[in-house]
Each structure stands twice: as structure tokens, then as C-alpha cells.
Amino acid sequence: AQSVTQLGSHVSVSEGALVLLRCNYSSSVPPYLFWYVQYPNQGLQLLLKYTSAATLVKGINGFEAEFKKSETSFHLTKPSAHMSDAAEYFCAVSVMDSNYQLIWGAGTKLIIKP
Amino acid sequence: GAVVSQHPSRVICKSGTSVKIECRSLDFQATTMFWYRQFPKQSLMLMATSNEGSKATYEQGVEKDKFLINHASLTLSTLTVTSAHPEDSSFYICSAISSAGGPYSYEQYFGPGTRLTVT
């Protein structure tokens, strides 16, 4: 069975500082991995995805994530936080043999301090 | 491309009434659509998976008679909350997978969500 663990329900960083949001997954088959962002009272926006190609994935808004099979991790990073990055971030895993259902992490709220 | 809409974006209804939420894929055909529910400050909870022309598959604990899902065409799925109660108040989100196949046949495209408030 697949599962996703996001470490830290809240992460607070100063504007301009490095953003690191952690995601670890468990999957018995090669996974597809996703990071989504959700602003208050809005739907989800895809930030980036890993689909077994390059292990370092670049996404929108300056975010990137690195797939590390040995660590079963897919951490999300951004070199310099902006106030507009304040939002909820969700990591998810999808597998082909389950109709591509997404298994979701609990989410991490990113707080940006001025 | 790959836009999913939901209607309405917000709805307030009285306890005991039914509410229908529409999910449409605007520029692609969707063989599979998913319905999620999200409580405040929580992650998404998958309610059901619907495939065009067949009955929806509900997740454990989701009442199929209360949350009626119809995927009548390749571009439209509806969720009807029957005899709504205040505890049904939530944010409902749909997503769709393109039936076109190819390298992105796994990717879910999300609607903007519907805020349901039952008074």
C-alpha cells in the first residue's frame, strides 16, 4: 500500500530564506509524485511532478523537488521565500494499478515572516 | 489547457434539502473523475471515483445513498448531497483524468472547489 508522510504541519521561514518542505513516501511500485499548493478557499494548483524521468524536478514559482529513491523522499525546496508563497502545500503519490488515485499527505502550512 | 470547472463555487442550503454540484472538464474528455471532501485545515479525503457510463466506486465510510455521483458524459460529473445536514458542510473538490492517454494519462486536473454550507 502507498502512503505519504509530510513532516511538520507548519513550517515558518523568514522572507528571503530557504524553504524546505519534507515529504516521504511508501510505495511497492515505482511511484508518481506530486506537490500541490492550495491558497485559502481555493482549489489545488500543481507545483511539480516526478514521473520517473529526471530526479530533480523544477516546477512553477521557483520551486523544485528531488526524488531520492534510497531515502524514499521527495522534498520541496525554494531558495528564497516570498510572502506570496504563504499557503498550504500537499505532497501526493499516485500509482498506476489504483486507477491513478492520489494518496495525500496531511499537508504543511508554510508561514512567511516579514 | 486541461481546465476543470465546478459550479457553484459556493452554496448555502437549508437542512433537509438536496444540493447538486457540477464538475466539468472544459477542454478535454475525462474518462475518470474523482470527488474529494476537505475539512478545514485538513488534507483531501477521497470520496469516490467515477468512470463515465458506470457506477461510481465509493471509498469506505462514504454513504453512497447520501452522496449521489453521476458521470453521465465524458465532460460532466455531478455530486448530489441528498437531505443535507450541517455536518455535510465542507469544501468539495473534483478532479479529472484525461481520456486521451499518452504520457499524461495519469495526471489529475483539479476544479476550484465548492464551499457547501448547510444551515
CA distance B49 to chain A (A): 8
The 10s digit of each residue's pLDDT in B34-55 is 999 998 888 999 999 998 888 8
Least confidently predicted of A7-21, B20-34, B95-109: B95-109
Q: Which of residues 74-93 of A touch B (CB under 8 A)?
A: 90
B68 close to A (CB below 8 A): no
Q: Is B113 on the interface with A (CB under 8 A)?
A: yes
- Residue in B34, B41, B43 nearest the CB of A105: B43
Distances (CA, A) of A103 to A32, A94, B118: 10, 6, 28
Contacts of residue B8, Cβ cutoff 8 Å, sequence gap at least 6: B21, B114
Q: Coil, strand or helix: which one is A114?
A: coil
Chain B environment of A36 (Cβ under 8 Å)? 110
- Render pLDDT for A42-92 as a digit per residue (tens, 0 to 9): 889 999 999 877 899 999 999 999 999 999 999 999 999 999 999 999 999
Do B106 and A51 lie within an 8 Å CB cutoff?
yes
Runs of H (alpha helix) within chain B: none
| CA B24 from centre of chain | 10
pLDDT at B103 over 60: no
Cβ pair B54, B72 in contact under 8 A: no
Measured at the CA of B20, the angle between CA B51 and CA B13, to 5 degrees, comes to: 150
- Please count the other Cβ atoms lying within 10 Å of the Cβ belonging to residue A110: 20
Question: Do A45 and A75 meet the contact criterion of CB atoms below 8 Å apart?
Answer: no
Residues of A in contact with B102 (CB under 8 A): none
- Predicted confidence at residue B10, as pLDDT, reads 96
- Report pLDDT for A42: 84
- Report pLDDT for B108: 87
Say if CB A82 and CB A15 are below 8 A apart.
yes
> Nearest CB to A106: which of B43, B106, B113?
B43
Instruction: Please report the pLDDT score of residue B114 as a whole number.
Output: 96
C-alpha cell at B14: 437549508
Rounded average pLDDT over B11-34: 94
The pLDDT score that the predictor gives to residue B65 is: 94
CA distance A92 to chain B (A): 10
Least confident of A12-16, A28-32, A93-97, B13-17: A93-97
Chain A residues in contact with B46 by the CB 8 A cut-off are: 101-102
- Is the CB of B59 inside 8 Å of chain A's CB atoms? no
Is the CB of A43 inside 8 Å of chain B's CB atoms?
yes
From the list A32, A51, A104, the residue facing B44 with the nearest CB is A104
What is the C-alpha separation between B89 and B22, in angstroms, rounded? Answer: 17
**Predicted pLDDT at B101:** 63
pLDDT for the residue A54: 85
